[in-house]
Homo-oligomer: A and B are copies of this chain.
Amino acid sequence: MAGSLPVSPLAPSGFPELPIVDGVRFATVAAGVRYTGRTDVMLATLDAGTVIAGVFTRSATRSAPVLDCQAKLGGSSDKPAAILVNSGNSNAFTGRNGTESVRAITETTAHVCGVPEERVFTASTGVIGEPLPHDRITSKIEELAGALAPDGIDAAARAIMTTDTFPKGAGTTVRIDGKMVRIAGIAKGSGMIAPDMATMLVYIFTDARIPQDELQALVSAHNEVTFNSITVDSDTSTSDTLLVAATGQSGADVSGNDAFSTALHGVMRDLAHQVVRDGEGASKFVEITVSGALNDRDARIHALSIANSPLVKTAIAGEDPNWGRVVMAVGKSGAAADRDRLAIRFGNVIVAENGWVSPDYNEAEAAAHMKKQDLLISVDIGLGDGSATVWTCDLTHGYIEINADYRS
């Protein structure tokens, strides 16, 4: 349960110093939704003029807050906006109560913060199927509104944690047309993580000026190669939400600007990697690259088949360069492969090629690579030009410990 777990050995050394993004203010509170002795609600307000893009879980059983956010995306940005997130209860699969909880929260937030209700975005993360005690949240919104400040993003990152063992933040500053553009984001998520997108909440703020449809296109494209390219356990949450809010207050117009796109991509990838690094029970961070597939789609299927294979993941946990399991995962994926054209590398160590162990294979070198905390598994399918990269972690006793009694 949250707070009781040791910090992941893969965690960064600390929460980064994030730039202040003009037009955004944060506040957090301990509302006692489920947890005690910690903050569990965060409010962010966004000045008028802020455009908001988003990506959501594609689960057929997505939560009431997700449905509400999806309906609101792309509206007018003339008025201010607010984001309110609680941890401890996901308000997912809660029937009509779920919708009522969303309405109570968005109505109260709109009223207290002076924003239109159609500009209030809410999210909930935690246990599925239990009614959200939303009055514990609504009764705190006045207090939250009174505490709003520009520099509260680190506290916000903490308030949205569930089984996370560390708060996740990433940011950067990039000079565009002589103006400084700031990007700062936070994320939560550690289990039920798989493409499309996982129990993952991500909020990224920037003072760039950009039309909503262009921001949406950027976010969707970068999402495919960041949050949709990580997997902890192949399970996908009903609550996943990524919102990117651009206040425009830097005055820098970033339309079509590659530097901004690259900077945003970098922040998204950094946060995605942090989610994997906090994978439940993770002791290894693993990059899996597949090249030479018939096409990019096939490459991604192979990469995810490797990344999600319990046998590959347990071998990694055991620091065993068990490339036979990589062959197995490629073989079962359903995408095109030819046993005798595969080439497999662990780090820089060539392991297998031409349908068998490489004559250059050195087990001691491969075993040495497996002892590292950050691993690379590269597979060349040998059939075409398709490539993909995904990130995952190993499967350890810690995962079982965390998940065999999450609710107890």
Interface positions of A (Cβ within 8 A of B): 57, 59-62, 92-98, 127-130, 191-192, 194, 196, 233-238, 308-311, 314-315, 317-318, 320, 322-325, 327-333, 335-340, 342, 352, 354-357, 395-397, 399-400, 403-408
Contact = CB atoms under 8 A, between A and B. Distances in A.
Contact of A234 (B96, B128, B308, B324): B308
B310 A60 contact: no
A373 to B, nearest CB: 16
Given A318-B405, A400-B314, A129 B235 contact: no
Contacts of A236: 328, 331-332
Contact of A338 (B60, B308, B310, B337): B60
Contacts of A340: 95
A100 B98 CA distance: 64
A93 B310 contact: no
A328 B192 contact: yes
Contacts of A192: 311, 328
Given A324-B129, A328-B237, A339 B93 contact: yes
A151 B328 CA distance: 35
Given A61-B328, A61-B339, A310-B399, A404 B320 contact: yes
A62 B331 CA distance: 7
4 A-B pairs with least C-beta separation: A128-B324, A95-B356, A61-B331, A318-B404
A408 to B, nearest CB: 7
Nearest to A311: B235
Contact of A238 (B233, B327, B396): B327
A322 B335 CA distance: 33
Contacts of A320: 404-408
Tell me the dominant secondary structure on chain A's binding face: loop
A129 B97 contact: no
Contacts of A329: 235
Given A60-B331, A238-B331, A320-B405, 15 more contacts: A61-B330, A93-B355, A93-B356, A95-B354, A128-B324, A129-B324, A233-B310, A234-B310, A310-B310, A314-B400, A314-B404, A315-B403, A315-B404, A315-B406, A317-B404
Nearest to A310: B233
A237 B327 CA distance: 10
A237 B322 CA distance: 14
A327 B405 contact: no
B356 A61 contact: no
24 contacts: A59-B331, A59-B332, A60-B332, A60-B335, A61-B328, A61-B337, A93-B339, A95-B340, A95-B354, A95-B357, A97-B356, A233-B311, A235-B325, A236-B332, A238-B327, A314-B399, A314-B403, A315-B403, A317-B404, A318-B408, A320-B404, A322-B406, A397-B397, A397-B400
Contacts of A61: 327-328, 330-331, 337, 339, 342
B408 A60 contact: no
Contact of A310 (B57, B235, B317, B327): B235
A262 to B, nearest CB: 31
A92 B408 contact: no
A299 to B, nearest CB: 14
A317 B332 CA distance: 26
Among A233, A235, A311, A328, residue most surrounded by chain B Cβ atoms (within 10 Å) = A328
A400 B357 CA distance: 26
Given A234-B308, A308-B234, A311-B235, A327 B357 contact: no
A310 B403 contact: yes
